[in-house]
Amino acid sequence: MWVDRILLVSGVPSGYVHATRECVLLSQALGLGGLRRLLEVHHRLDMQCFDRIAVGQPRDDELVVDGAGAHAWLVAPTLIDLAVDVARKCGRVDVHVHHVEDVDELQVVTALARRYGSNATLVGLRANAADDRAVMRMTNLARPRSIEQADPVLREALRNGFAVHESLWKATYDLQKRALARDSVVSRRHAGPVIMLDDGTIVGRRPNDDDFDAKMLRSVPASHPETP
């Protein structure tokens, strides 16, 4: 939820937040940049350059992707879709990627591919400001039948969580709060899946919503008056 909020604050369209969030969390789980890199680059997660991304297919089993300077987390979801599609048709595809920011983060593709019944291997990676590029080989496999097969990295993270330094956790917490409305009676009445109307009527999930406590409306700090 925190990562989703940070991505929304950064300007990532809501329809693309889920896919980008998976890249961030897998990055953390794989020991890559993860949450720390998200703090560093969140203001540069610019989707406007997507209009300039170019994809070529010199051969049936080869793709060439010019990322137009987009961050690897933004390129990876679409890259996976294209590569999996070609791998299913041809059995294998080599993907050459260049002009991508933080190109080393494309390593998350190796975990994402498992979800679609594919095996991805980075056979070449050059991460430097002058000439960032990566070569990925995607091979089609049988579809996964369990979460252990589909995403062992995610399963391990769900079971044991992430080890995150206190200062990093606090920094992400502070950043994600920018997505929230100012604390007031109005914002509290519209929190979650329900709305409390002026007459006290609750509109939303029935018969009861365990997350909603009407008593919280009494404890809005005096320093945060209700705003329209």
101 and 211 both lie in a single domain: no
Residue 228 resides in a domain: no
Q: Which of 168-177, 193-202, 206-215 has the highest mean pLDDT?
A: 168-177
187 and 170 both lie in a single domain: no
13 and 82 both lie in a single domain: yes
Terminus-to-terminus CA distance in the chain, angstroms?
26
**Domain total in the chain:** 2
Summarised one tens digit per residue, pLDDT across range 60-118 is 999 999 999 999 999 999 999 999 999 999 999 999 999 999 999 999 999 999 999 99
| Contact yes or no for 92/138 (Cβ under 8 A) | yes
123 and 16 both lie in a single domain: yes
Integer Cα distance of 129 and 118 in angstroms: 30
User: What pLDDT was estimated at residue 191?
Assistant: 64
DSSP state string for 102-148? TGGGGGGHHHHGGGGTEEEEEEEEE--SS--EEEEEEEE-PPP-SHH
189 and 167 both lie in a single domain: no
94 and 192 both lie in a single domain: no
109 and 208 both lie in a single domain: no
Residue 227 resides in a domain: no
Summarised one tens digit per residue, pLDDT across range 147-187 is 788 888 888 888 888 888 999 989 998 889 888 777 777 77
User: What pLDDT was estimated at residue 61?
Assistant: 94
Cα 223 to Cα 50, 94, 180, 185, 210: the distances in Å are 43, 58, 17, 12, 28
Mean pLDDT over 25-43 rounds to 93
Q: Quick check: 224 pLDDT over 70?
A: no
189 and 114 both lie in a single domain: no
Summarised one tens digit per residue, pLDDT across range 186-197 is 776 666 667 777
Range of the domain at 163: 2-174
32 and 66 both lie in a single domain: yes
Residue 118 resides in a domain: yes
